[in-house]
């Protein structure tokens, strides 16, 4: 059997992405094959496509982008006992920009009823990143009443979940966002503040008791101000400003243990389904427009989480 997938054979702009017909992938030991219902677009996807993270002039073989996925199990590899054909799941599957994708069973969780495919696919990276960063900041499970956290980029994909998780754990949160997203940040349970020049003074006026921790998610140059607010680079973390992290001595966090990511997703899903956590808006594209979706994501043309629907 064959199915469609998006691939690139050369590094470059969005135009190198092409839709091809290929043989359905076969799950190996510990893996399942999914009939993909939706796949999210993340910055890592287009960074890999450009070759910026590669040490070779071209990929050694055609590459299918994507990781975040939601779909239906349609074939099970040897050794898989906790998933069966017909199960609806979400999680991570390398090569998710396709009608069929193979995933490690340990990277998937069951999709709750009532959760749309598009929202399900939007969750794995942003949710696990929010949980991981808060854990690394010392805001893990437990009561953190009395702790004040600044989340830079609070209305973005990761920021939305980081704010809500920190609030649920008792922290007081100040969230930076553009002027047009101040009400969105307030609705998450944070005190909103406009980012940009003068941020330190504005935050100090909102939090005269001081700021304990900072999480930078936007990569727009606020990291130095955040370190000033918290008083030490060890009390800040970033997922978006690698150069700033190297210069200032701030932890740059990227990627985590699949078992932790699965556990974090399982914790967040009931909160999302029952409305305790708000989700970000989802904008969908057909598989054929993967290049446009990546380009829109790279240049911030569209608000919300961008998702491909085969």
| pLDDT tens digits in sequence order for the chain, 310 residues long | 999 999 999 999 999 999 999 999 999 999 999 999 999 999 999 999 999 888 888 899 999 999 999 999 999 999 999 999 999 999 999 999 999 999 999 999 999 999 999 999 999 999 999 999 999 999 999 999 999 999 999 999 999 999 999 999 999 999 999 999 999 999 999 999 999 999 999 999 999 999 999 999 999 999 999 999 999 999 999 999 999 999 999 999 988 888 999 999 999 999 999 999 999 999 999 999 999 999 999 998 998 999 999 9
* Continuous H helices in the chain: 43-50, 117-122, 124-137, 157-168, 182-187, 199-206, 223-230, 242-248, 258-273, 290-299
In this prediction, residue 56 carries a pLDDT of 85
In this prediction, residue 53 carries a pLDDT of 83
Residue 39 three-state SS: strand
Inter-CA distances, 252 with 67, 123, 187, Å? 20, 21, 28
Which CATH number applies to 2-123+280-309: 3.30.390.30, 3.40.50.11610, 3.90.180.10, 3.40.50.720? 3.90.180.10
The structural domains of the chain, with segments of one domain joined by +, span 2-123+280-309, 126-252
d(CA 137, CA 152): 14
In this prediction, residue 308 carries a pLDDT of 98
> What is the sign of the dihedral through the CA atoms of 113, 119, 123 and 127?
negative
> DSSP labels for 53-78?
T-SSSS-SS-B----EEEEEEEEE-T
**Do 69 and 121 form a contact (C-beta atoms < 8 A)?**
yes
Please report where in the chains the tokens 């942003």 appear, as a residue: 126
pTM: 0.94
Domains 2-123+280-309 and 126-252 share a fold: no
In this prediction, residue 229 carries a pLDDT of 98
Name the CATH superfamily for 126-252: NAD(P)-binding Rossmann-like Domain (3.40.50.720)
């Amino acid at each position: 059997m064959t199915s469609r997938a998006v691939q690139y054979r050369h590094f470059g702009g969005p135009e190198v992405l092409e839709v091809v017909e290929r043989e359905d992938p076969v799950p190996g030991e510990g893996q399942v094959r999914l009939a993909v219902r939706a796949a999210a677009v993340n910055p890592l996807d287009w960074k890999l496509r450009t070759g910026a993270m590669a040490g070779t002039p071209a990929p050694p073989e055609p590459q299918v982008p994507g990781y975040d996925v939601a779909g239906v199990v349609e074939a099970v590899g040897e050794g898989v006992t906790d998933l069966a054909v017909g199960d609806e799941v979400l999680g991570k599957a390398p090569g998710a920009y396709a009608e069929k994708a193979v995933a490690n069973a340990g990277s998937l969780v069951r999709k709750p009823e009532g959760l749309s495919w598009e929202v399900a696919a939007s969750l794995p990276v942003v949710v696990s990143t929010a949980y991981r960063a808060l854990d690394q900041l010392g805001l893990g499970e437990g009561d953190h009443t009395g702790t004040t956290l600044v989340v830079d980029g609070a209305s973005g994909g990761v920021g939305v979940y980081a704010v809500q998780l920190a609030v649920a754990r008792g922290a007081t949160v100040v969230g930076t966002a553009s002027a047009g997203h101040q009400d969105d940040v307030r609705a998450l349970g944070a005190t909103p503040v406009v980012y940009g020049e003068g941020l330190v003074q504005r935050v100090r006026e909102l939090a005269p008791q001081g700021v304990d921790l900072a999480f930078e998610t936007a990569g727009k140059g606020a990291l130095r101000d955040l370190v000033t607010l918290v008083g030490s680079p060890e009390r800040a973390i970033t997922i978006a400003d690698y150069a700033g992290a190297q210069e200032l001595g701030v932890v740059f966090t990227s990627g985590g243990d699949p078992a932790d990511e699965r556990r974090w997703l399982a914790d967040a899903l009931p909160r999302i389904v029952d409305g305790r956590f708000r989700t970000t808006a989802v904008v969908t594209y057909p598989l054929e427009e993967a290049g446009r979706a990546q380009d829109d994501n790279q240049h911030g043309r569209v608000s919300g989480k961008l998702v491909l629907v085969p």
